[in-house]
Structure 1
Amino acid sequence: MTDQTALSFDLYWSFRSPYSYIVAQRLLALRDQYGFTVNVRIVRPLAVRSPEFFEERDSRWIHYVLIDVAREAERLGLPISAPSPDPIAQDLSTLKIAPEQPRITYLNRLGVLATQSGDGLAYIAAASRRIWGGASAGYETPWTDDGALDEAAHKAGLDPDWLSAEADAQSDQIDAQILENEANQDAAGHWGVPLMVFNGEPFFGQDRIDALLWRMAQSGLKLQ
């Protein structure tokens, strides 16, 4: 009999991606159901890694993404609101990206450390719900307020004060880990998030979870 916990895959994931938010909620529930392991790999948003990507997009692409994200969240019963503030500094009228990105840098460091020291999937699921759920999830204050992400740290089994302090103290090592994650993501065959990689095979998008489970079943995952 296959040990379900021995089955694992990498999840390349971004705090700025609404689809990453959606996939984290779904994978957390599926992990509880099936017992597989999710190796969270935090990467910087594509808007930060490749600012020209957004500047070169047809405006209809952005419009469609906004429609689709709201629709998918509604279909899956998930709260969704525009994050306040945006995890990255970007002029949405021109799509220009600011050179300094303190909010996403801090989030990324918290996320990487949480994956290294606690339950990374639980952390990103709770933190992204706080960021992307917003008022729709009953939150009345910005996610940047003091203590707003404490619940996410507790969900990961970590002390929030320790997590924040160590994210600062270990910033150089964590930033290097993020760059390594991005290099491994590129090597896996895709640049976008969420990207799941099982046995070297990439599955891009929250709408590829069923395909991922199907492939994992071929390696012994017992689907219910």
Structure 2
Amino acid sequence: MHIAFTGHRPQKISNYDEQRLVRLATAVLSKVITDKCKSPNQILAYSGMSLGWDQACTQACIDLGIPFVAAVPFKHQTTTWNRTQRDQYQYFLEQAKEVVYVDHLNRYQCKEKRLGEYREISIPKDVYHIFKLNARNRYLVDQLTPGISDCLISLYSGQPSGTAQCVRYAKESGLNSSQILNVWKSWLKYSKQEVQTHVY
């Protein structure tokens, strides 16, 4: 069984609290294990490694013994992050079953059309570009098979965002409603109190 995560960064999460978010992610993943596969070793998770929901789910995977793939949109993802955030990110990479640099994969390499030109320009590897975040999201969804137990676990407020684009791509890719779990309402409910086991 494959699962992937998509969700907002801290600045878009109301009442953001890192530890509470990790507890919610842990409760969600525990329920997935109970409902769908019975053992964490039967799951392979895919994390986009962004701050916020992605990393909360990554920490939950480590705590629960779920193997995960770190799907890094570009090598220098942490350039603007502070030291604590970079250290945590490095720890996550070390714990990953595999690290995939998505912008190194031919299928997900990004190109753009420059204003006034009629040709596509390849975007260099390893550096930031907004297209690379979208390509990373497509990679995450592409690891999930429609119609079976695979699922995308989202923390999605409904507002326009990269998370919204990821959820839309998942629907366009054929994932059904039972495969796209949105725990935003659970977050609103539990961000001010203890997380319970009934989370979606």
**If each structure's helix is expressed as a fraction of its own residues, which one has the higher value?**
1
- Answer yes or no: same fold by TM over 0.5: no
Per the shorter chain, which TM-score range? 0.3 to 0.5
TM-score by length of 2: 0.33
